[in-house]
């Protein structure tokens, strides 16, 4: 029987009904947006306590930022007095303008936090280990890009907060020997924050950095998939299952690529035929009882994470306004002038030593982060086997958080120690 509607629908989805296993598989295989997923996922990977969905949440925040950011671009002129006036127009006359700006602002802060938490999760679960070393490096670069996007966006409202935060932030960068001052000049298009700095930050913020971010995010996801999906606590597997795991793609002398369960009726893909051996752990090798179809189990969960992220950002944006101070005034320096909060740990270090705190320590910290998977050669991911790695990283996190909290809450005029509960009279 002819059913034009059903034919039309079929021409779009081109798959069997979702009630069948074939349909569930085809939903993933035949869809450009979903095929980054496997058709079937391990049950372990769906557990909230294994990943807290932090990677997803970070990505969803990025999507919110792109969406609200494009909407905001319709109302924004990257030129000094107009830029500030456009903020006022968003607040007072543009329909939902305040709400859009609030969402953009809070998502940006949220993304900096979530990307950091995601990094912590990956470290504590040892998920940067073979074969995922390079994906950790890409992750560190994505973290730096997130900071860069947040920092360039910070200047755009062109108020006192923006102006002086960027002045302080770029001053910290200029402490680098030989190149520091040159890089600052290149970034600002001058020696002080002015109209060319605003234009440069705008172009970086809306074009260059988001494009690089999108490309690297794709690589990041692709490698997660190629490295066997999300990592899971393999050390928690029951002994009888662990006994059935075999090590593939590795000689006895080097650390195993990954551990997969042995399977009697294994079928080999083209790539494995080409290379002569199975390279990556894939779902098809898993025991039937350990896996479920991505539809609906994974997709619904991701959907819930997306909705929860959006709902949280919206709720926060309804009740808390994005800050906007006076029009930027190069002649009037606030005391203290503070960088954006995520750089206040740096500013705190700089207050003790410009070269050491502003250049040496942060450069070493970034280098150390990048080198972690190449230095930590301990093959085990079991927390009990890597106590010192965990202690060292925890120290790094605690020091960072303490420095940021000190810089944000405990520093007053002249960068003097002023606890938040002490009110300074006469301070403007």
Listed residue (54, 13, 18, 55) closest to 33, CA to CA: 13
CA atoms of 107 and 157, how far apart (whole Å): 16
Q: Does residue 17 bind another protein (CB under 8 A)?
A: no
Inter-residue contact 385 to 378 (CB < 8 Å):
yes
Rule CB under 8 A: say whether 244 interacts with another protein.
no
CA dihedral 121, 127, 132, 136 (to 10 degrees): 20
Token pair 């349909």 in the structure block, residue: 23
**Residue nearer to another protein on the CB measure, 71 or 245:** 71
Judged by CB under 8 A, the chain residues 143 through 162 that form the site for another protein are: 159-160
CB of 160 to another protein, least distance (A): 8
Candidate residues 52, 75, 99, 221; the one interacting with another protein per rule CB under 8 A: 99
Determine if 95 is a binding residue for another protein (CB under 8 A). Answer: yes
- Contact between 427 and another protein by CB under 8 A: the answer reads no
Structural tokens at position 150: 């947040």
> CB under 8 A: which stretch of 168-176, 269-277, 306-314, 405-413 binds another protein?
306-314
Among 124, 134, 297, 415, binds another protein (CB under 8 A): 297
- Asked if 68 interacts with another protein (CB under 8 A), we say no
Q: Contact with another protein (CB under 8 A): which of 315, 399, 402, 416?
A: 315
88 vs 220, which CB is nearer to another protein?
Answer: 88
Identify whether the C-beta of residue 120 lies closer than 8 Å to the C-beta of residue 397.
yes
CA atoms within 13 A on the CB side of 391: 5
Residue 374 lies near another protein (rule: CB under 8 A): no
Q: Check residue 92 for interaction with another protein (CB under 8 A).
A: yes
How many residues sit close enough to another protein to count as binding (CB under 8 A)?
A: 31
Task: Single out the residue of 266, 305, 301 nearest to residue 283, CA to CA.
Answer: 266
Is 52 one of the binding residues for another protein (CB under 8 A)? no
Say if CB 144 and CB 173 are below 8 A apart. no
CB of 8 to another protein, least distance (A): 26
Residue 245: helix, strand or coil by DSSP?
Answer: strand
Query: Could you say which of 142, 155, 285, 324 contacts another protein (CB under 8 A)?
Result: 324
Phi, psi of 42 (to 5 degrees): -70, 140
Q: Which residues contact 98 (CB under 8 A, 6 or more apart)?
A: 90, 91, 321, 322
Within 13 A of 298's CA, how many CA atoms are on the CB side? 24
Residue closer to another protein (CB basis): 98 or 167: 98
Shortest Å, Cβ 406 to another protein: 25
The answer to the question of residue 284 lying near another protein (CB under 8 A) is no
Judged by beta carbon, residue 326 or residue 385, the one nearer another protein is 326
Rounded to 10°, the helix 344-352/361-375 angle is 120
Beta bridge partners of 411: 417
* Environment class of 17 (CB within 10 Å of its CB; exposed 0-12, middle 13-18, buried 19+): exposed
Rounded Cα distance between 320 and 333, Å, is 26
CA distances from 188 to 169, 179, 211 (A): 12, 14, 21
Taking the complex as a whole, the smallest distance from the CB of residue 174 to another protein amounts, in Å, to: 28
**Residue among 185, 152, 165 nearest 333 (CA):** 165
Residue 308 binding another protein, by CB under 8 A: yes
- Quick check: 424 binds another protein (CB under 8 A)? no
* Choice from 311, 375, 398, 427 touching another protein (CB under 8 A): 311
Site for another protein in 213-242 (CB under 8 A): none
Query: Candidates 114-122, 271-279, 309-317, 363-371 — which segment interacts with another protein by CB under 8 A?
Result: 309-317
Member of 96, 246, 368, 401 binding another protein (CB under 8 A)? 96
- Among 72-80, 86-94, 367-375, 383-391, the segment contacting another protein (CB under 8 A): 86-94
What does the binding site for another protein look like in residue numbers (CB under 8 A)?
81, 85, 88-89, 91-93, 95-96, 98-99, 159-160, 296-297, 300-301, 303-304, 307-308, 310-311, 314-315, 317-318, 324-326, 332
């Amino acid at each position: 029987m002819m059913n034009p509607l059903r034919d039309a629908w079929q021409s779009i989805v081109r798959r069997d009904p979702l009630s069948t296993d074939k349909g569930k598989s085809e939903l993933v295989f035949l869809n450009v947006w979903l095929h980054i997923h496997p058709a079937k996922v391990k049950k372990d990977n769906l557990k909230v306590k294994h990943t807290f969905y932090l990677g997803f949440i970070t990505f969803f925040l990025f999507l919110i930022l792109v969406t609200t950011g494009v909407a905001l671009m319709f109302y924004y002129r990257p030129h000094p007095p107009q830029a500030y006036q456009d903020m006022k127009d968003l607040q007072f006359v543009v329909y939902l303008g305040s709400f859009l700006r609030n969402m953009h602002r809070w998502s940006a802060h949220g993304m900096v936090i979530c990307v950091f938490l995601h990094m912590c999760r990956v470290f504590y679960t040892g998920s940067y280990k073979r074969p995922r070393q390079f994906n950790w490096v890409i992750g560190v670069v994505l973290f730096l890009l997130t900071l860069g996007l947040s920092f360039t966006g910070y200047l755009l409202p062109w108020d006192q907060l923006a102006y002086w935060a960027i002045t302080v932030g770029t001053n910290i960068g200029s402490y680098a020997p030989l190149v520091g001052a040159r890089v600052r000049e290149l970034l600002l298009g001058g020696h002080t924050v002015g109209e060319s700095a605003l234009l440069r930050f705008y172009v970086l913020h809306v074009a260059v950095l988001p494009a690089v971010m999108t490309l690297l995010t794709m690589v990041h996801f692709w490698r997660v998939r190629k490295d066997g999906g999300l990592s899971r606590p393999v050390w928690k597997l029951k002994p009888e299952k662990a006994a059935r795991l075999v090590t593939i793609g590795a000689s006895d002398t080097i650390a195993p690529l990954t551990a997969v369960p042995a399977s009697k009726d294994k079928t080999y893909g083209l790539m494995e035929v080409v290379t002569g051996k199975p390279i990556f752990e894939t779902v098809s090798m898993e025991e039937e009882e350990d896996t479920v179809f991505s539809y609906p189990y994974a997709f619904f969960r991701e959907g819930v994470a997306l909705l929860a992220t959006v709902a949280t950002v919206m709720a926060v944006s309804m009740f808390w306004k994005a800050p906007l101070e006076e029009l930027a005034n190069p002649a009037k320096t606030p005391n203290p002038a503070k960088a954006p909060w995520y750089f206040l740990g740096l500013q705190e270090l700089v207050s003790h030593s410009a070269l050491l705190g502003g250049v040496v320590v942060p450069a070493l910290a970034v280098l150390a982060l990048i080198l972690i998977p190449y230095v930590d050669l301990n093959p085990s991911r079991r927390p009990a086997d890597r106590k010192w790695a965990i202690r060292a990283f925890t120290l790094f996190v605690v020091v960072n958080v303490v420095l940021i909290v000190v810089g944000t809450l405990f520093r007053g005029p002249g960068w003097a120690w002023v606890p938040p509960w002490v009110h300074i009279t006469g301070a403007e």
